[in-house]
Amino acid sequence: MKIKMISKSGVIPEYKTEGASGMDIRAYLDGPLVMHPMERMLVPTGLFIELPPGYEAQTRARSGLAVKYGIGLVNGIGTIDSDYRGELKVPLINWGSEDFVINNGDRIAQMVIAKYEKVEIELTDSLEETERGTGGFGHTGI
């Protein structure tokens, strides 16, 4: 994966431990950014990436920020397609009850690289039967 940074003091995304699946992504800001409760904003990272075809980058919330401060991603998990060449920006929301301050270089999200396959869509009049069938949410009990 290729990464281009516009940040002069930026940090390349990195895995913090040997078993980590997500790389930390940091904010690239001119100064502190204050997120008020229930406020949403795109936080710049100063990163541009080039993924090989057949791969996507997923941005995910950092569990520590979510549990301690209520900071999450507006869309749950963000997808960066292999043909996107713009700056990576993270859509954060403050679900917490207090203001949250983001400083330049703060770890704001994780990025996981995943391989995917495209499928061909085939219209049909019927689907194969399964043991589950049409059983929806809670059909196996609580």
CATH class of 2-8+22-115: mainly beta
**pLDDT at res. 71:** 98
What separation in angstroms does the CA of 52 have from each of 14, 41, 56, 59, 61? 19, 28, 8, 17, 24
What whole-number distance in Å separates Cα of residue 62 and Cα of residue 102? 14
pTM for the whole thing? 0.83
pLDDT in tens, 63-79: 999 999 999 999 989 99
Are 57 and 13 contacting, i.e. CB atoms less than 8 angstroms apart?
no
What whole-number distance in Å separates Cα of residue 97 and Cα of residue 120? 45
Tokens of 125: 């009049």
State which residues of the chain have pLDDT below 50: 8
CA 95 to chain centre: 16
Domain layout of the chain by residue ranges: 2-8+22-115
